Amino acid sequence: MVSAVQKAQPAVVSVHVTTRVRQLQRYRSRDPFWDVFSPFYYAADRDQSSTGSGFIVNTEGYILTNDHVIGGDIPNKRLITVSLPEPDGRTLEARYISSDIGSDLAILKVEAKDLPVAPLGDSDDILVGEWAIAIGNPFDLGPTVSIGVVSALNRDPPQPQGDYYYRDMIQTDAAINPGNSGGPLVNADGEVIGINSFIYTGGDYSIGSIGIGFAISINTARDFLDEIQEHGQVRRPWTGIIALKRITQRLADYLALESTEGALVVKIAVDSPADRAGLESGDVIVAINDGKMRSANDTAGVLKGLRVDDECTLSVLRYGETLELRMRLEEWPRYRQGW
């Protein structure tokens, strides 16, 4: 385990994000009596800080982390710095490159020489029960290591976590806490097999790790990195499916469906990939690429996880018959709607 940590930890960085936010402040006067009844507020800017983790993936200075670590949708308004662990100890300003919001991944870049690089493994070649090491910056304490095992593979959380749809996750009991997000989950050889992303606590997340943590597989991240290297950003995929609806028992009875699994297609865009594939409003998507769809959220998550030029097979129910439709995703045109 020591050699694995020594191999991976030099490339693990602590990420610090400073955001300028505007908030309403109550006007304070020198008269305490007036303060009690004062209805006046004014807008003021202040700095808001957050921390997380990431790791360097190549000598060009690209750093992989979670999108939620950098805060998502207004990266250009942020100051992002990364700190390398000792004995290097450098603190570098990082530039935001791009995000994949659907899978909660982001890329930063630093300009520096002699950067350590984390070796990437193969998440398709891991087994339940093998050692797993989480490295990161929990609670901004600095470089921290925790050890456990791979508890399960291919976990699909039933609900999205905020704006993020997680699929095919690696579950581990290695302690993951706030601040670990974006850091690597490595195997006993020191190779990165996942990106630590969130934990389950059974409550309102007011407590720390209880041994149920989830990491995005490194093979999912490889697709993201390939997209960045080839196109300089993540191209937003488009299917043309504008709305999906959850199938309730009442709706299943009305449509004569055998179960409430799958997603009802409510609306699709004309001349879209879905339209050209033959998908129609009223169809029920029950599987994508032979993967069974449990709900509308599940279906939306799979569709948002696909990339431009990907082809997928939709299994749909239409008037009691099962149809197989082939759909090829396109880059999202800004003037259109839908996924």
What pLDDT score does 204 carry?
57
- pTM of full prediction above 0.85: no
Cis peptide before 178 (omega within 30 of 0): no
Confidence at 109, pLDDT banded by 50, 70, 90: very high
Residue 317 near residue 247, CB atoms below 8 Å:
no
Q: What are the residues whose beta carbons fall under 8 Å from the beta carbon of 20, sequence distance 6 or more?
A: 45, 46, 47, 48, 77
Residue type, 31: D
Residue 328 near residue 238, CB atoms below 8 Å:
no
Rg, Å, the chain Cα set: 23
Mean pLDDT is lowest, of 5-19, 98-112, 148-162, 170-184, for 148-162
What pLDDT score does 316 carry?
96
Residues 188-234: tens digit of each pLDDT: 999 999 999 988 776 555 566 678 899 999 999 998 898 888 887 77
Q: Which residues are catalytic?
A: 68, 104, 181
Q: Does the pLDDT at position 324 exceed 80?
A: yes
Residue 187 near residue 167, CB atoms below 8 Å:
no
Quote the CA–CA distance of 40 and 21 in Å, as a whole number: 20
Q: Which residue has the tokens 């169809």?
A: 283
Of 84, 67, 69, 95, nearest in space to 8 by CA: 84
Q: Does the pLDDT at position 76 exceed 70?
A: no
Quote the CA–CA distance of 124 and 187 in Å, as a whole number: 13
Confidence at 159, pLDDT banded by 50, 70, 90: low
Q: What percentage of residues in the chain have a pLDDT greater than 70?
A: 85
Q: What is the 3-state secondary structure (H, E, C) of the chain?
A: CHHHHHHHHHHEEEEEEEEEEEEEEECCCCCHHHHHHCCCEEEEEEEEEEEEEEEECCCCCEEEECHHHHCCCCHHHEEEEEECCCCCCCEEEEEEEEEECCCCEEEEECCCCCCCCCCECCHHHCCCCCEEEEEECHHHCCCEEEEEEEEEEEECCCCCECCECCCCEEEECCCCCCCCCCCEEECCCCCEEEEEEEECCCCCCCCCCCCCEEEEEHHHHHHHHHHHHHHCCCCCEECCEEEEEECCHHHHHHCCCCCCCCEEEEEECCCCHHHHHCCCCCCEEEEECCEECCCHHHHHHHHHHCCCCCEEEEEEEECCEEEEEEEECEECCCCCCCC
- Neighbouring CB atoms inside 10 A of 43's CB total 8
Residues 260-319: tens digit of each pLDDT: 999 999 999 999 999 999 999 999 999 999 889 988 988 988 888 888 899 999 999 998
Quote the CA–CA distance of 245 and 223 in Å, as a whole number: 29
